[in-house]
């Protein structure tokens, strides 16, 4: 399940990426020429997280700076929520699986001690105690085998999303400045 979620998030993040530098150049040229319709068309042609946010601001180009920023911020929240979707499940898996492994360890030790208690110290069956200890160690190992890659995958996804957020903030700020200064030039 963890692997499936990671692959799905990885592909979604990859699909959401665009060449931001080229995108900003195209948008800047259209805005400076006063062609907002063309700038919106550029956003629609470059499907991605940042282009969706910029488009929200461009659609409010004839309003004040605060309204443009508010539209982009709201769109940004929606887009970030889409980026973070299912990431919490990956985090839960990463945190719960070692606990499940630990539970198996405790149950295995309980079983081993119960076997010792029932058989008495004279007639201890090493095979039965060994089975209980093996159960304990296998569950611990299984929990760690799932948890370690899940933690790595979750941290990778979170770092990619943080990169997106930074890119969103800088791009949004630049587009707002372009729109506001365009308004002042007229």
pLDDT tens track for 97-146: 999 999 988 988 888 888 777 776 666 677 777 887 888 889 889 999 99
Residue 40's pLDDT is what? 87
pLDDT of 35-62, one tens digit each? 888 888 988 888 888 888 988 988 888 8
Q: 68 and 176 in contact (C-beta within 8 Å)?
A: yes
Residue 38's pLDDT is what? 87
Q: What is the mean pLDDT of residues 159-167?
A: 91
Residue 186's pLDDT is what? 43
Distance CA(80)–CA(36), nearest Å, equals 25
Predicted TM-score of the model (pTM): 0.77
Residues 6+ apart with CB under 8 A from 70: none
Residue 111's pLDDT is what? 82
Distance CA(57)–CA(147), nearest Å, equals 41
Q: What is the mean pLDDT of residues 154-174?
A: 90
Q: What is the mean pLDDT of residues 74-88?
A: 90
pLDDT of 10-35, one tens digit each? 998 888 888 888 888 888 888 888 88
Q: Looking at the predicted structure, is the pLDDT value of residue 159 above 90? A: yes
């Amino acid at each position: 399940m963890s692997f499936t979620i990671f692959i799905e998030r990885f592909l979604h993040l990859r699909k959401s990426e665009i060449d931001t530098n080229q995108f900003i150049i195209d948008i800047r040229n259209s805005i400076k020429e006063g062609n907002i319709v063309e700038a919106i068309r550029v956003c629609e042609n470059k499907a991605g997280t940042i282009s969706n946010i910029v488009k929200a601001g461009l659609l409010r180009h004839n309003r004040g700076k605060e309204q443009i920023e508010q539209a982009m911020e709201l769109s940004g929240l929606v887009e970030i929520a889409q980026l973070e979707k299912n990431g919490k499940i990956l985090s839960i898996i990463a945190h719960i699986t070692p606990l499940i492994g630990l539970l198996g360890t405790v149950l295995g030790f309980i079983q081993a001690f119960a076997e010792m208690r029932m058989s008495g110290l004279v007639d201890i069956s090493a095979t039965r105690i060994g089975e209980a200890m093996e159960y304990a160690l296998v569950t611990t190992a299984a929990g760690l085998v799932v948890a370690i890659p899940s933690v790595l995958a979750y941290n990778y996804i979170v770092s990619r999303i943080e990169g997106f957020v930074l890119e969103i903030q800088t791009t949004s700020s630049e587009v707002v400045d372009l729109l506001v200064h365009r308004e002042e030039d007229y």
